[in-house]
Amino acid sequence: MELILQSIINGLIQGGLYALFAVGLVMIFGVMGVVNFAHGELVMAGAYTIWYLHAQQGLGYLPTVVVAVVLVTLIGLLMERFLFRPTRNDPLAGLICSIGMLFILQVIATLIGGEGPSKQVPPVFQGTLVVFDFLRIPNQRIFALVISVAALVTLWYFLARTKLGWALRAVALDREASALQGININRISMIAIGVGAGMAGLAGALMAPLTNINPHMGHNVIITAFIVTIVGGVGSLSGAVLAAILYALFHTFMTVYFGGTIATISGLLLMVLVLIIKPTGIMGVRISE
């Protein structure tokens, strides 16, 4: 019972972080039609910023989180301008460019941090919240949960209540029709990737004190993001958030009882299963001729 409750809490916190980066992937795919394989490396870049500026150079944690978000947003904007915009009519070319970017970001991380063992960032918020005498939630994780929920709510408000958010959703539904309506596709793409990358950077910054940091940490991130995106329904942001939470719970439980590898295998099989039932993703539309 205690183990179950503890796993639920851990899973929920993990779910918030998963949602942060999965939502970004969905937005970029929805608006620009490109699968950003380097999305995991954007998370990694966020985590590295924390490690380098905060843990190494002694800058305060909160300011560094802001720097991380700004920096990763900037990387995203550069990717849109120089990689995705020239290849807009060819989604496969965009995807391959993002693979190239993945290598470049990994090497930059290696150059900054060097090879060798994974880096750790000591927790900033000391102490642990104890509930019912047996539930232990480190304050650092509570902070991560609060910030990720706040970021997701802000995103929801932006998309549902603002004119710009409305334009973004219109482009995601039908790019050509939106362009005919006078929506500036380049500008909307910039916003989509800026927000998507920024959220990935934030996820990385929040994860930094909770995980091992190394140049290849993006690999697990992208696998998780794919699973969440497919299970949640490609193109559906709320679906992605829900799937992120459910998958995080699922993964946490599987890890507790069967180990991490089996947990990831089951996640991948779950995703293949969803694709079998609905070969174009849950929200996907079949295109005929």
Partner 1 sequence: MNMLIRSIVGLIILIVLLIVPHFLEFHHQDLLIFLTINVLVVASYRLVTLTGEWSLIHAVMMGVGGYTATLLFLNYELGMWFTLPTAGLLSAAVAALLCFPLLRMTQFYFLIGSFAAGEAIRLVWIQFLDPFGGTGGLSGVSPPMIGDIDFMDPIPYYYLALTVVSICLFLLYRIEKSRVGLTLHSVHWKAPLAESVGVDTWRYRALAFITGSFFVGIAGALKVHYIGTITPNQYGIGFMVFILIWVIVGGYNKFYGPIIGVIVLTMFDESIRGFDEIRPAIYGAVLILSILFLPLGLESIPGKLKAWFIGSEVVEPPLTDE
- Give the binding site for partner 1 (CB under 8 A): 35, 83, 86-87, 89-93, 95-97, 99-104, 106-108, 110-111, 115, 219, 223, 226-227, 230, 234, 259, 261-262, 264-265, 268-269, 271-272, 275-276, 279-281, 284, 288-289
**What is the nearest approach in angstroms of partner 1 to the Cβ of residue 261?**
5
By beta-carbon proximity to partner 1, the closer residue of 136 and 278 is 278
By beta-carbon proximity to partner 1, the closer residue of 48 and 143 is 48
By beta-carbon proximity to partner 1, the closer residue of 14 and 229 is 229
Joined together, the tokens standing for residue 87 give: 């290849």
Smallest Cα–Cα separation from 22: which of 109, 152, 153, 157? 152
**What is the nearest approach in angstroms of partner 1 to the Cβ of residue 131?**
35
**What is the nearest approach in angstroms of partner 1 to the Cβ of residue 12?**
25
CA distance 46 to 240: 21
Q: Are 171 and 44 in contact (CB under 8 A)?
A: no
Q: Residue 183 — left, alpha, or beta (φ > 0 → left; ψ -120 to 50 → alpha)?
A: beta
**What is the nearest approach in angstroms of partner 1 to the Cβ of residue 34?**
9
Which residue stretches of 114-236 are H helix? 139-161, 163-173, 175-180, 185-207, 218-232
CA of 87: how far to CAs of 68, 126, 267, in Å? 27, 47, 32
**What is the nearest approach in angstroms of partner 1 to the Cβ of residue 247?**
13
CA distance 277 to 231: 11
**What is the nearest approach in angstroms of partner 1 to the Cβ of residue 54?**
25
By beta-carbon proximity to partner 1, the closer residue of 108 and 142 is 108
Smallest Cα–Cα separation from 24: which of 147, 198, 145, 146? 198
Buried b / exposed e over 234-245, threshold 16 CB at 10 Å, is bbbbebbbbbbb
By beta-carbon proximity to partner 1, the closer residue of 180 and 285 is 285
By beta-carbon proximity to partner 1, the closer residue of 5 and 92 is 92
Joined together, the tokens standing for residue 108 give: 């930059």
By beta-carbon proximity to partner 1, the closer residue of 198 and 267 is 267
**What is the nearest approach in angstroms of partner 1 to the Cβ of residue 59?**
26
